[in-house]
Amino acid sequence: MAREQMPLASIIRNQTFEGYLLVRAASQRSGQNGSRFLDLTLCDQSMEVNAKMWDGTVQAPAMGTIVKVRAVMLEYNSKPQLRIDKMRDLAEGDDVDISALVPCAPEPPDKMYSLIYERARSIYDEELRNIILKRLDECKEKLEYAPAAMKLHHSERSGLLHHTSTMLKSAEAICSVYPTLNADLLCAGVILHDLGKISELNYDSMGIVSDYTVEGNLLGHLVQGAAELRRVGKEVGARDELIIMLEHMLISHHDLPEYGSPKPPMFPEAEVLHIIDLLDARMFEMNQALSTISPGCFTDKIWSLDRKLYKPKTVRPRPE
Amino acid sequence: MAREQMPLASIIRNQTFEGYLLVRAASQRSGQNGSRFLDLTLCDQSMEVNAKMWDGTVQAPAMGTIVKVRAVMLEYNSKPQLRIDKMRDLAEGDDVDISALVPCAPEPPDKMYSLIYERARSIYDEELRNIILKRLDECKEKLEYAPAAMKLHHSERSGLLHHTSTMLKSAEAICSVYPTLNADLLCAGVILHDLGKISELNYDSMGIVSDYTVEGNLLGHLVQGAAELRRVGKEVGARDELIIMLEHMLISHHDLPEYGSPKPPMFPEAEVLHIIDLLDARMFEMNQALSTISPGCFTDKIWSLDRKLYKPKTVRPRPE
Amino acid sequence: MAREQMPLASIIRNQTFEGYLLVRAASQRSGQNGSRFLDLTLCDQSMEVNAKMWDGTVQAPAMGTIVKVRAVMLEYNSKPQLRIDKMRDLAEGDDVDISALVPCAPEPPDKMYSLIYERARSIYDEELRNIILKRLDECKEKLEYAPAAMKLHHSERSGLLHHTSTMLKSAEAICSVYPTLNADLLCAGVILHDLGKISELNYDSMGIVSDYTVEGNLLGHLVQGAAELRRVGKEVGARDELIIMLEHMLISHHDLPEYGSPKPPMFPEAEVLHIIDLLDARMFEMNQALSTISPGCFTDKIWSLDRKLYKPKTVRPRPE
Amino acid sequence: MAREQMPLASIIRNQTFEGYLLVRAASQRSGQNGSRFLDLTLCDQSMEVNAKMWDGTVQAPAMGTIVKVRAVMLEYNSKPQLRIDKMRDLAEGDDVDISALVPCAPEPPDKMYSLIYERARSIYDEELRNIILKRLDECKEKLEYAPAAMKLHHSERSGLLHHTSTMLKSAEAICSVYPTLNADLLCAGVILHDLGKISELNYDSMGIVSDYTVEGNLLGHLVQGAAELRRVGKEVGARDELIIMLEHMLISHHDLPEYGSPKPPMFPEAEVLHIIDLLDARMFEMNQALSTISPGCFTDKIWSLDRKLYKPKTVRPRPE
Amino acid sequence: MAREQMPLASIIRNQTFEGYLLVRAASQRSGQNGSRFLDLTLCDQSMEVNAKMWDGTVQAPAMGTIVKVRAVMLEYNSKPQLRIDKMRDLAEGDDVDISALVPCAPEPPDKMYSLIYERARSIYDEELRNIILKRLDECKEKLEYAPAAMKLHHSERSGLLHHTSTMLKSAEAICSVYPTLNADLLCAGVILHDLGKISELNYDSMGIVSDYTVEGNLLGHLVQGAAELRRVGKEVGARDELIIMLEHMLISHHDLPEYGSPKPPMFPEAEVLHIIDLLDARMFEMNQALSTISPGCFTDKIWSLDRKLYKPKTVRPRPE
Amino acid sequence: MAREQMPLASIIRNQTFEGYLLVRAASQRSGQNGSRFLDLTLCDQSMEVNAKMWDGTVQAPAMGTIVKVRAVMLEYNSKPQLRIDKMRDLAEGDDVDISALVPCAPEPPDKMYSLIYERARSIYDEELRNIILKRLDECKEKLEYAPAAMKLHHSERSGLLHHTSTMLKSAEAICSVYPTLNADLLCAGVILHDLGKISELNYDSMGIVSDYTVEGNLLGHLVQGAAELRRVGKEVGARDELIIMLEHMLISHHDLPEYGSPKPPMFPEAEVLHIIDLLDARMFEMNQALSTISPGCFTDKIWSLDRKLYKPKTVRPRPE
């Protein structure tokens, strides 16, 4: 576990900061006296700050990378400004806590990936298992940091793993209530359902989305995900019905055409996939919105939900 | 457990049937020779049949009651007709299996009621617990047979208990995935959410709905249920916030105004209540529709779902 | 009748104002030289103005109260500023014209209340009469100043009485055209239909709304009003059908689910209630919007009506 | 006033009927023995019946005309059949009560027309008055029998006068509540608003609609009525603003585009015209539907209203 | 060109028919005297008729095949019945006019295919040309008879070629008006846009659709067509942008989500593809509906268009 | 052809501009020293600029006129400012290129008008031809500059001619594909369909729209155009069916009620009119939006189309 560093926002004037920061912008510039210096925008989760490094020999670090700095918090034009005394790129052995720098899923990506992978390995139908494992292998690298959205729910580093692994738990829970459901099929659908987002969004290894891709704009992650699934299904030699049913689960998981699904869910596992996807998105958005207000109050209207939310004052869960 | 009787539909010509049947219609009539006889319509789950009892001294049994008969299956105008030799009303000690006569929930009502009642008794907040227990006590008698709908999902004897107890299991399962949910509040919402149906529908003790009540037509079970809940909340002296939040859960559990909710769910437990209500209704309707077709086929279009459903051929759950 | 005072907006530089003003904000502060003074925001209908009272011994009046002041209109930083020479709280015998301070219904509240109350007293059906009279008694105090909305139609002091009493006149007028209507039932519906707003909105005795209440947000005035009506119906021992029909009129008076009604109007008096409610709201909003433009012109698009409005140039009503 | 005749449905076997009947179909035919006879379908409001007149010399009367007959009610193939002994066309001096033969407005057309005409004559603005009087003159003949619809509200002889004259009373009633309304303009709008139906529908002098006209199908009565109004406005030399405002009232009186209005009402009188049109249609449809059921019951779902209606049992208007 | 045969509907009693008929049902049965015979249902475009062949040695032909028969038209139970004297399967050299037997496109399939193929061969971009030619080759065989719909527009043998080739003409015509359009891209989109229907529908070589396929129901021809296109695009090594744009044209060509498109057209050629698809469907449906009525009349309401259609009486095109 | 002048935006500091400019505002004012001068806002297509003419004897030119100026580009308060040395109104013989001053259709108005007029002259049906020619004559003057919209498609000088003449080409192209269409009727519909915009919008001879007219707001160009058409139809003595069909084409050409059409297109030519109107509007808007971005990029969301648009990078039309 990474050693905790001070949040930038807690550093007072003239105090020294030491730790890792994310580079949002960086360029070498020349002062009026001709001397060269570095002008940077650095950030952690708590704030974004302008920084100067007066040593004209230092190269500007790449945008989106993490640097280790020692710096003093000054003030310029009544705004905070960091004067960097030492700065270097990440080196082997550095133990950065990325969640101090950008919004991250609450669990480490490898732990979530393992949970998902182990569930996939336990699938009984060999063709189905081969499809899922192959798709997971293909996506493994990007899944480490891929978020699940540009804004809205799970727009955080490893958000796609977060969303998928939580849904996997819901899927298992629901299957215990409705034993006629094919649990392997449902879990396969959960694992696959948003993998199309990996190529729908442009994001960096911090999980920060800059834009939709051309493919994402023109096709959308439902159609993209179904196409990748079909390709892999053919590659592992799976039977047609299995491939078609999985494609159906992908394109139908938004339920209604106005949310992008060309077909509604036409068998129980496809329906449950849609419902637990809705559930997880709603829980994330509601909890996030409610975290910002006091008990007894309402949030502002939340546009994605078209309503205000209430945080109870006297109604409390059972104490632990 | 009741001794199993032969389904009416399996009795062949001239065979004797002995067992319990439901009276759908009954009247005393006079033949052309002036002799009096009983003309009845009797049924079990397998079929409905005309029956005659030529003994003019027997009183017609009341519609909707169960009678024990011994009879022979004859044919009249190429349709089956029962000739009743013996018939009597139910007596103490009769051990009727009602599920042989009408669609029934798969579990006995007292078992489902106990499960629900025990969950209610475990609620930590005293005011909340008192509300739920009082409402359960008030409704206990009718819950034994009340269905959850006129047509559509859970239109079966004890269907309301069936729907509620399944949702209670889902509620617990979901709370284990999302620990910030107030499980007691959600379970309270589940128990209360459809109790308004008890006075929305006209049904007999077999769980057969004849109609909506005046109150059901003019108010609907959301508003009815919220009004009863408010009354009981005041009676047990519960605090205002608690009563209002429960009323909100009742009136918002259909989510959208076009489905009858004047407000959308405005806190997480209200949202989850809506989602698991939807889930249970969909699972019931889908399983019921799929039970009538063969693997590899589609159902006809199901109007309440606005789609056809598919039953897989080669995609199967893990064998036990 | 209160003596008329000069509108603030008509007071010129160095002129003295004497009269009643509404306190929108007030606090005691210290100047750079340490001397204490009062800093206030005061208003009448014509404008809001900053005011200073340099006498450090005076307590800040409560927000929302009315004060009597003598002051001189000065200018500070090219904005008007009142220098208060004398200020006191309202005293017995003060004859304030509230309509000079905030938007008010065009008739005094007690006159409108009497009109409504007399109509209620003339109801023939004793149970119905008892319900309405009891509800009026309960709400009498708040009706004096309750507005009918936060924004939109009748957001003025006593706006709820204004809206209700105008609709009562329409109800009588319509009943004279359609004699099969039950006039008592319709008038009862009119009187009750928006009483739920009394607890839906947070407002002060000036009729200024600050917010929705928790109950208002979570339930809405339709459900709230129906619940209060049911309670009173039970208290006066009214028969069930009467209570249910009145509840129905309350919850259906917005007509369509997308406007918040879980049921559409299902008998003629409920339908007429909806129609004259719509009529009164539209007349208020249209007249208000048209009062701001010149003949031959169009208003900007009015969002609640989704259209522009036209004020005729040569088409005029019959001169009196 | 016409002498009352017996309703056909009350004539028993072998009883003689004497009175006026409407010809729905008529043709001369030949029997197996070569003799010629008349085969007719005749009706009054109570029933439709086959009739034979065995006198081969009588010409078949025209469809849609009224005949005076003396006939005996017989039976053929267990259905009633009239044997006509005497039959003639209407003659001068015949005093037929058309309302015994087809659904008619409750008041005589000339009385309703006079009420409307007198209101038009009292319009203060000369140009407006001239437009309305000219349109009334043009339509006078057809207004005597024109219905207001093919099915739905006011599909009865003189139904258009019925609908218009009732709305005129509502218009006056509403203007007394909202004195800023231009009563002459509103009444002019009421008189004009459905005159386009005169050429939208194909109907006979009994007020029975057979079809829409080509013009009615391709343009609809809003556009047709506006075009006729514009023509007359130009003919009487009215100013442009007046013509445009009246055209607007015609095309906007269905309010929403999905009900056929290309523009929504954009001044108060246009809005009120829409609202009292809606009111009158709803009152007619609701009263008609409720007239067929018993107190305490609901109608079937009424498709034009998308709901069931309730007729109260214990809630009654004040006795006269 | 095939020699014309008499339509079945024109054959009178005792007349001999000689020609080709389509087998809709056929089985060998035994008469009461034990003798075996063939019982068939045969049809051409004009009618369907029962037929018997009393020669018990003949094998029943397969359903959906064409047979050559010589037969006499008799009558049995006042219905026409064919007595077959000679019958054989199709043989080499038989020159059947299929359009006499089932609804067919107005031009021969090979002519339409050639037109399409030649246009594809003229595409300038090599990768694009290779994709289209390969897809055409793959589908060539089924295109000969594939219809374009189960009901609705172009549900005729070779209807898919008919629809595609007409749209190709419209595409060229539109490109001459809007020269900035990429004509090759648009024509490629036209050729590909409905190829997914080949595997969406179950139909025989007569172009008669029995059903949707499993794949058709679960995915739909937009997603199916896009998947096939992507596969071929990869196979011919086309660049990504080209494949994505073609996929986009396929999935967006129904324009709105409620018509099944998960994305709306996002570049001009995709938009034009949608518009000329709409145009061709509308022209087919309108012309088909109008062919059944007389000038000056309206069709019944056409459900797919939600309107009636009018056929002009005096308004005529320029005579040739 | 007018001699080309330098775009204002390309004139640098102290450079002299000579050419024609459009007057957007102009007034005579007095300086602090009492001397009078002209203060103007002038523009061409490239920019708008403040201008001063210090000669106090010159009259302010009228807003919306074109002036010829010789001026020097200076700077005042770091914004460009023209100092006018010479200025005069347009004179006979001036050869102004209006397209240098405001957005104009790509072809000269007289050329487009001729194309349209010649097509109208070739109409075979005399009554139809007379209607169209008379309407064209009536509108000729305003058509020279009338735009087709306030914002959106073809909001340019002569935009109405541009839109109409392009649609005329599409109409001819489509008629060559569907020979059953009545080409004269369709072309007549195209010419008439938007003529109502001439009186719907307030615009000057530069084609700049300031507002909707009263008539335009209250009736809209569909109803206005149909009324003018009907008047001319009566004036030239055309038969009723022809007038009604043309009125129908006008009021139905927006297709759906939510786009303002009280009736949907009910014969093929009306349908095609709607489709090519849609086509031309979409092509204009898409090409305009795409002209502002680089290949491989997306536009921002375009509100009238509710989508982003893509400009291809490697997919190119056939080189000429």
Interface probe for C, chosen from F150, F217, F219 (most Cβ of C below 10 Å), is F217
pLDDT of residue D2 exceeding 70:
no
F306 part of contact set with chain E, CB < 8 Å? yes
The answer to whether B217 contacts D296, with C-beta atoms less than 8 Å apart, is no
D111 part of contact set with chain C, CB < 8 Å? no
**pLDDT tens column, C261-304:** 999 999 999 999 999 999 999 999 999 999 999 999 999 999 99
Report, as an integer, the average pLDDT of D128-136: 98
**pLDDT tens column, E165-219:** 999 999 999 999 999 999 999 999 999 999 999 999 999 999 999 899 999 999 9
pLDDT of residue E264 exceeding 80:
yes
Between D220, D231, D244, which is nearest F262 by CB? D220
**CB-CB neighbors (< 8 A) of C307 in chain D:** 264-266
Angstrom distances, CA of residue F156 to CA of F104, F152, F159: 5, 10, 5
Residue among D67, D17, D14 at smallest CA distance from D40? D67
**pLDDT tens column, B65-78:** 999 999 999 999 88
Angstrom distances, CA of residue B88 to CA of B40, B60, B102, D15: 13, 10, 19, 53
pLDDT of residue C78 exceeding 90:
no
| pLDDT given at position B3 | 62
**CB-CB neighbors (< 8 A) of E217 in chain B:** 298, 308, 310
ipTM for the whole complex: 0.90
**CB-CB neighbors (< 8 A) of A296 in chain C:** 214
Which residues, in sequence order, are bridge partners of residue B104? B157
B82: left (phi over 0), alpha (psi -120 to 50) or beta: beta
| pLDDT given at position C161 | 98
B266 part of contact set with chain A, CB < 8 Å? yes
Report, as an integer, the average pLDDT of E11-23: 93
Report, as an integer, the average pLDDT of B91-95: 89
Report, as an integer, the average pLDDT of C43-57: 90
| pLDDT given at position A3 | 62
**pLDDT tens column, A112-159:** 999 999 999 999 999 999 999 999 999 999 999 999 998 878 889 999
pLDDT of residue C95 exceeding 70:
yes
**Mean pLDDT, all residues of chain D:** 94
Between A184, A275, A319, which is nearest B275 by CB? A275
DSSP codes joined into one string, A28-75: EEE-TTS-EEEEEEEE-SS-EEEEEE--TTSPPPPTT-EEEEEEEEEE
Report, as an integer, the average pLDDT of D79-97: 92
Angstrom distances, CA of residue F35 to CA of B1, F69, F88: 113, 22, 21
**pLDDT tens column, F14-48:** 999 999 999 999 999 988 788 899 999 999 988 99
Q: Minimal Cα distance from D212: which residue of E? A: E298
Report, as an integer, the average pLDDT of D91-111: 92
Q: Minimal Cα distance from E217: which residue of A? A: A263
Count how many residues are written for chain F: 320
**CB-CB neighbors (< 8 A) of F310 in chain A:** 214, 217-218
Residue at token pair 């189309």: F305
**Mean pLDDT, all residues of chain B:** 94
| pLDDT given at position E294 | 96
Angstrom distances, CA of residue B140 to CA of B129, B212, B256: 16, 20, 30
**pLDDT tens column, E221-259:** 999 999 999 999 999 999 999 999 999 999 999 998 888
Count how many residues are written for chain E: 320
pLDDT of residue A320 exceeding 80:
no
Cα gap A228→E230, rounded to integer Å: 10
| E71 CB-near residues (< 8 Å, 6+ apart) | E16, E17, E18, E51, E82, E83, E84, E85, E86, E87
Angstrom distances, CA of residue E194 to CA of D16, D88, D141, E149, E155: 71, 68, 58, 10, 13
Neighbours of C300 (CB within 10 A): 10
**CB-CB neighbors (< 8 A) of B242 in chain A:** 314-315
| pLDDT given at position A127 | 98
Do residues F116 and F166 touch, judged by C-beta distance below 8 A?
A: no
Cα gap A163→A281, rounded to integer Å: 8
Residue among B296, B299, B298 at smallest CA distance from B313? B296
| Antiparallel, parallel or unpaired: β D48-53 and D79-89 | parallel
Report, as an integer, the average pLDDT of D6-19: 93
**pLDDT tens column, A195-235:** 999 999 999 999 999 899 999 999 999 999 999 999 999 99
| pLDDT given at position D31 | 81
Neighbours of E72 (CB within 10 A): 15
**CB-CB neighbors (< 8 A) of F251 in chain D:** 219, 223, 262
* Residue E60 DSSP label: P
Cα gap C251→C253, rounded to integer Å: 6
| pLDDT given at position F1 | 43
Scanning chain F, the segments in alpha helix (DSSP H) are 109-121, 126-143, 159-177, 183-192, 197-200, 214-218, 220-235, 240-252, 268-290
Provide, rounded to the nearest whole percent, the portion of chain D with pLDDT above 70: 99
Report, as an integer, the average pLDDT of E130-151: 95
The answer to whether E296 contacts D214, with C-beta atoms less than 8 Å apart, is yes
Cα gap F23→F44, rounded to integer Å: 9
Residue among A172, A276, A275, A177 at smallest CA distance from B115? A177
Cα gap E182→D249, rounded to integer Å: 48
Residue among A168, A155, A139, A120 at smallest CA distance from A279? A168
A175 three-state secondary structure:
helix
| E204 CB-near residues (< 8 Å, 6+ apart) | E64, E145, E210
Q: Minimal Cα distance from C298: which residue of F? A: F214
For residue E312, the distance in angstroms to the closest alpha carbon of chain D comes to 10
B28 three-state secondary structure:
strand
Residue at token pair 């459905």: D194
pLDDT of residue D1 exceeding 80:
no
**pLDDT tens column, D216-229:** 999 999 999 999 99
Do residues B245 and B252 touch, judged by C-beta distance below 8 A?
A: no
**Mean pLDDT, all residues of chain C:** 94
Residue among C247, C238, C286, C291 at smallest CA distance from C265? C247
| D34 CB-near residues (< 8 Å, 6+ apart) | none
Q: Count Cβ–Cβ pairs < 8 Å, chain D vs chain F.
A: 72
**CB-CB neighbors (< 8 A) of E212 in chain B:** 298
Interface partners of F (3+ CB pairs, < 8 Å)?
A: A, C, D, E
**CB-CB neighbors (< 8 A) of A223 in chain E:** 223, 226, 247, 251, 262
Angstrom distances, CA of residue B282 to CA of A153, B163, B238, B254, F209: 25, 11, 34, 14, 55
pLDDT of residue C1 exceeding 60:
no
For chain B, the helix, strand and coil percentages under 3-state DSSP, each to the nearest 5? 40, 20, 40
Q: Where does chain E show beta strands of DSSP type E?
A: 16-30, 36-43, 48-53, 66-76, 79-89, 201-203, 209-212
The answer to whether E217 contacts B310, with C-beta atoms less than 8 Å apart, is yes
Sign of the CA dihedral with B91 first, then B96, B101, and B105 last: positive
D229 part of contact set with chain F, CB < 8 Å? no
Interface probe for C, chosen from B217, B219, B235, B240 (most Cβ of C below 10 Å), is B219
| C249 CB-near residues (< 8 Å, 6+ apart) | C189, C192, C193, C265, C269, C270, C273
**CB-CB neighbors (< 8 A) of C308 in chain F:** 217
| Antiparallel, parallel or unpaired: β B16-30 and A209-212 | unpaired
Between F218, F227, F266, which is nearest D218 by CB? F266
Cα gap E251→E261, rounded to integer Å: 6
| pLDDT given at position E3 | 61
B235 part of contact set with chain C, CB < 8 Å? no
Residues C167-177 as b/e (b if ≥16 CB within 10 A, e otherwise) read bbbbbbbbbeb
Do residues A270 and A189 touch, judged by C-beta distance below 8 A?
A: yes
The answer to whether D226 contacts F222, with C-beta atoms less than 8 Å apart, is no
Q: Minimal Cα distance from A312: which residue of C? A: C214
Touching pair B, F by Cβ (3+ pairs < 8 Å): no
D107 part of contact set with chain C, CB < 8 Å? no
DSSP codes joined into one string, A10-22: GPPTT-EEEEEEE
**Mean pLDDT, all residues of chain E:** 94
The answer to whether C296 contacts F214, with C-beta atoms less than 8 Å apart, is yes
**pLDDT tens column, A75-93:** 998 899 999 999 999 998 8
Cα gap F185→F270, rounded to integer Å: 9
Cα gap E97→D232, rounded to integer Å: 62
Which residues, in sequence order, are bridge partners of residue A49? A42
Report, as an integer, the average pLDDT of E294-315: 95
**pLDDT tens column, C13-23:** 999 999 999 99
Residue type, D304: S
| pLDDT given at position E82 | 95
Tell me which of D210 and C56 has the higher pLDDT. D210
Provide, rounded to the nearest whole percent, the portion of chain F with pLDDT above 90: 83
Where residue A1 falls among pLDDT bands split at 50, 70, 90? very low
The DSSP H or E segment spanning D36 is: strand D36-43
Do residues B35 and B22 touch, judged by C-beta distance below 8 A?
A: no
pTM beyond 0.80: the answer is yes
**CB-CB neighbors (< 8 A) of F218 in chain C:** 310
Cα gap D194→E252, rounded to integer Å: 44
Report, as an integer, the average pLDDT of D112-137: 98
D214 part of contact set with chain E, CB < 8 Å? yes
Report, as an integer, the average pLDDT of B26-53: 90
Cα gap A146→A302, rounded to integer Å: 25
Which residues, in sequence order, are bridge partners of residue C80? C75
Whole-number CA gyration radius for chain E: 23
D246 part of contact set with chain F, CB < 8 Å? no
A317 part of contact set with chain B, CB < 8 Å? yes
**pLDDT tens column, E73-107:** 999 988 999 999 999 999 988 988 998 999 999 99
C50 three-state secondary structure:
strand
The answer to whether C178 contacts D317, with C-beta atoms less than 8 Å apart, is no
Question: For C71-75, F85-89, F153-157, F313-317, which range has the lowest pLDDT when averaged over its residues?
Answer: F153-157
| pLDDT given at position E1 | 42
